[in-house]
Chains A and B, each alone.
Chain A
Amino acid sequence: MTWLSDSALSRLRAAMDVPDLTGTRYQFLEKLGRGGMGEVYSVEDTVLGRRVALKVIAITDASGDLEKRLLQEARVIAQLEHPGIVPVHDAGTLPDGRVFYTMKLVTGSRLDQRLAELSNLADRLRIFEKICEAVSFAHARGVLHRDLKPQNVMVGRFGEVLVMDWGLSKILRESAFSANVVRHSAVRYHEADTAHGMVVGTPGYMAPEQKRGEELDQRADVYSLGAILQFLLDSLEVPARAVAAIAGKAMAVERAARYSSVKDLASDVAHYLDGLPVTAYPESWVSRAWRWTVRNRAWLLLILAYLAMRTLFILWRGR
C-alpha cells in the first residue's frame, strides 16, 4: 500500500473538498470560505460569463437532512427578493452527489471586518438601518433569520449591505409565503421547521428563549439585532447613551420588554439619527432642550443673526 506523506494527505483532503463541477456550467475558481452547513466557492458561470458564489454542503448526508436544509435555504432566499438579501441564481446536485446553490458573488467584507473603517457612529447606524430593512422584509414574508450576527452581514464596496446565511432560518407557520416555499420544496411542512427544543444560533447573539430551545417569534431576531447594535457601539470612543438604550431595549431578557418588531427598532434608530426622541431613552429637560437646540441649530442661527442685525440697525438709527 502506498505510503502517504503529510503533504499528500493535505492534497487528498483538498481534492476531496473541491466540488465536482464536471458537466456543469460552472468552472472552479477559488474557495471563499465557510458558511453555515457548507463551503462557499467562487466559480465562473461559463454560460453567462460571470462570477458567482457556489455554496455546497461539505459532505453527503445519509439522512439527507443537510441536503434538505441547504435546499430550503436556497428556496427561502429565492423568495426573499430584496436589495439587502443576496439573490439566488440556481440550485441542484453536483456529479459528486452534493447539493449546491449559486448566488450573487458579493465583493466586500463582513461587518465585523469592516468595523475599523467605520469610525463615525452615524455611518454605522446607517448600515444597521439597512440590516433592519432586510430583516423586517423577511419578517413580513414570515421568515425568521435566527442567526443574525456581524459575521453574517456583508458590506459591499459601494456601501450595499447584505444579510447572509439563511441556513438556520425558520418559516413562521402563519405566513402565506411559508406555504409557497414549502409547496415548492422537497421538505414537508413539519420538517421545514427545526424540531422544537433544538437549539440553533450563535451564543452572544442568541435570545434567551432561543438558547432554551423555546418557540420563537420575530422578537428573537430583534434581540440579535440589539446585540449587533451593541457590537457597533462597543468600539466607539464617544459613548452614545440613547443608542446604547436602544440596544438594551432590543436585548431585554423578557421578550415582552423588547421592541415588538424590527420596524419599531429601526424607527428608534432613525429617530436618533434625525435628532428626535427615542422611546428607549427617557431624557431630562436639559437633554431634551440641548437635543432640540442641536436639531434646530440652523433656524436658531438664522433667528440669532436676524436679531443681531435688528439690534445693530436700531443702535445705528439711535445715533
Chain B
Amino acid sequence: MPDDTQIGGPAGRFPVTRGSLLAAARSSDSDERQRALGTLIAAYWKPVYKYIRLRWQKDNDGAKDLTQEFFVRLLEKDFLDSYDPARARLRTFLRVCVDRFISNQEKAAQRQKRGSNQQILSLDFETAEGELRQVEIPSPENMDDFFAHEWARSVFSLAVKRLQDECFAHGKHIHFQLFQLYDIEEGGKELTYAQVAERFGIKPSDATNYLAYARREFRRIVLDQLREMTASEEEFRREARGLLGVEVS
C-alpha cells in the first residue's frame, strides 16, 4: 500500500505519546507542533479536498490549490489557537474554518496567487479525485454528513495502513491478510474459516485467532487515533459514537 501523503511521517503515523494532539499542535516546540499538525493533515486533507470539490463546486485544480493553501495556513498560522473544545468538536471547527477560508478567498479575489499551481505539501490529489468518483454525490443540505463520512473513511484508511505496517513489522503477514480478506474485501465474509485456513495453509482455529488479533489491534489503533485527535473525553466519546455507529452514554 503506497502512502498518499508524506506529511506527519510515513502514512501520517500517529505520535506514540498519549497526550492530546491538539496540545501538541499548539506547542511552542516547533518539531512537536509540525508533527502534530502533520498528523491532523493526514487525517483531514482528503475530507477537506472532497468537501471543497463538492460543497464549493470547485474544479479539480481549484480544489487542489485551495486545499494546499488551507493546510499551509494551518501550518503557518495560529489557526488552532481560536479553537475552544467546549464549543465544538475539532472536526466541526475545521470544516467551519474551511468555509470561512474559502469565503474570504473569494471575497479578496486572491486567486492569482494560486495560478502557479505550486505544490507545497505532498498530497496525492489524483488518488483523492479517483476516490471522489466512487462516492455518491451528496445533496447540498447533506454536506456536513458527507464531510463527517469522509473523515471517518480517512481515519479508518489510516488505521488499516498502520495495522498493515505493524503486522508486517512483527511478521504477522497472515493476520493482516486474513483481516483484509474478511473485513475489507467484498465477498470475504462468505468464506468459511476452514476454506480460509486451507487457502493460507493454517489450522481453522488459527484463522479465528489471527483474525481476532487483527480486529483487536485495528480497534485499538482506531480508538488511539481518535483519542489523539480529540481534545476532551466527551469529544472522544461523541466522535467514537459517530465513527463506530454506537451509542455511548
- 9-39 of chain A: CB within 8 A of chain B: 9, 11-13, 15-18, 20-22, 34, 36-37, 39
Say if the beta carbon of A287 comes within 8 Å of chain B: no
| Residues A16 and B208 in contact, CB atoms below 8 Å apart | no
- A194 to B149, alpha carbons, bound, how many Å? 35
State the CA gap A11–B160 with chains docked (Å): 13
If A16-B215, A59-B240, A60-B223 touch, whether A11 touches B184 (CB-CB below 8 Å) is: yes
Find chain A residues with CB under 8 A from B157 CB. 1-4
Interface range for B: 35 or more
Summarize B's interface: helix, strand, loop or mixed: helix
Does B3 contact A1, Cβ atoms closer than 8 Å? yes
B73 nearest CB across to chain A (Å) = 24
Q: How far is the CB of B10 from chain A (nearest CB, A)?
A: 11
Which of A20, A34, A57, A167 is B215 in contact with, Cβ under 8 Å?
A20
Is B156 in contact with A9, judged by CB distance below 8 angstroms?
A: yes
Pairwise interchain contact A16-B222, C-beta atoms closer than 8 A:
yes
Contact assessment for A17 and B156 in the assembled complex, using a CB-CB cutoff below 8 Å: no
**A66 contact set on B, CB distance < 8 A:** 248
In the complex, which residue of chain B has the Cβ closest to the Cβ of A62? B233
Contact: A12 with B11, CB < 8 Å?
Answer: no
In the assembled complex, the Cα of A97 lies from the Cα of B224 at a distance in Å of 13
Contact A11 B189 (CB under 8 A): yes
Q: Is A8 an interface residue (CB 8 A)?
A: yes
Once the chains are docked, how many angstroms separate the CA of A13 from the CA of B246? 9
CB-defined contacts of B152 to chain A, threshold 8 Å: 9
Q: Is B170 an interface residue (CB 8 A)?
A: no
B143 lies within 8 A of chain A by Cβ: no
Q: Does B13 contact A (CB under 8 A)?
A: no
B236 touching A12, Cβ below 8 Å: no
The answer to the question of A7 belonging to the interface, with a C-beta cut-off of 8 Å to chain B, is: yes
Q: Could you tell me the distance between the alpha carbons of A15 and B243 in the complex, rounded to whole angstroms? A: 13
Tell me whether A18 and B233 are in contact (CB under 8 A). Answer: no
B246 touches A37 (CB 8 A): no
What is the CA–CA distance of A62 and B179 in the complex, to the nearest angstrom? 27
Output the least CB separation between B205 and chain A (Å). Answer: 10
* Across-interface contacts of A61 in B (CB, < 8 A): 233, 237
| Contact A12–B249 (Cβ < 8 Å) | no
Interface of A is mostly: loop
Q: Which residues of A contact B11 (CB under 8 A)?
A: 1
Q: CB-nearest residue of chain B relative to A65?
A: B233
Which residue of A15, A37, A39, A167 has the most chain B CB atoms within 10 A of its CB atom?
A15
Is there a chain A Cβ closer than 8 Å to B220's Cβ?
yes
Q: C-beta contact mask, B108-121 vs A, less than 8 Å → 1, else 0? A: 00000000000000
> A3, A13, A59: which contacts B248 (Cβ < 8 A)?
A59
* Among B135, B186, B219, B248, contact of A16 (Cβ-Cβ < 8 Å): B219
In the bound complex, do residue A58 and residue B216 qualify as a contact, i.e. CB atoms below 8 Å apart? no
Complex Cα distance A59/B238, Å?
11
Closest to A36 in B: B249
- Nearest chain A residue, comparing its CB with the CB of B135: A6
Query: How far is it, in angstroms, between the C-alpha of A17 and the C-alpha of B3 when the chains are bound?
Result: 27
Q: Are B4 and A1 in contact (CB under 8 A)?
A: yes
Chain B residues near A282 (CB, 8 Å)? none
Interface contact A12-B1, CB-CB below 8 Å: no
Question: Of B134, B237, B240, which contacts A3 at CB under 8 A?
Answer: B134
**B137 on interface, CB distance cutoff 8 Å:** no
The interface centre, meaning the residue of A1, A2, A9, A34 with most chain B CB atoms within 10 A of its CB, is A1
Nearest-neighbour CB distance to chain B for A68, whole angstroms, equals: 13
* Distance of A17 Cα from B246 Cα, bound (Å): 8
> A58 is contacted by which of B160, B222, B248 (Cβ under 8 Å)?
B248
Q: Which of B221-243 contact A (CB under 8 A)?
A: 222-223, 227, 233, 236-237, 240, 243
B189 nearest CB neighbor, chain A only: A11
B183 in the interface, Cβ–Cβ < 8 Å?
Answer: yes
B244 touches A (CB below 8 Å)? yes
Q: Is A284 an interface residue (CB 8 A)?
A: no
B residues lining the A interface (CB < 8 Å): 1-4, 11, 127, 130-131, 134-135, 152-153, 156-158, 160-161, 179, 182-186, 189, 208-209, 212-213, 215-216, 218-220, 222-223, 227, 233, 236-237, 240, 243-249
Instruction: Kindly list the 9 A-B residue pairs having the minimum CB-CB distance in the complex, ordered from nearest.
Output: A22-B212, A58-B246, A15-B183, A16-B219, A37-B249, A96-B216, A59-B240, A20-B216, A15-B215
Chain A residues within 8 Å of B, Cβ to Cβ: 1-9, 11-13, 15-18, 20-22, 34, 36-37, 39, 57-63, 66, 95-97, 167
27 CB contacts below 8 A, A to B, read A1-B2, A1-B127, A1-B157, A1-B158, A1-B161, A2-B1, A2-B160, A4-B184, A6-B135, A8-B184, A8-B186, A11-B182, A12-B156, A12-B183, A12-B218, A13-B244, A15-B215, A17-B246, A20-B215, A34-B247, A58-B246, A59-B223, A59-B246, A62-B233, A62-B236, A66-B248, A167-B249
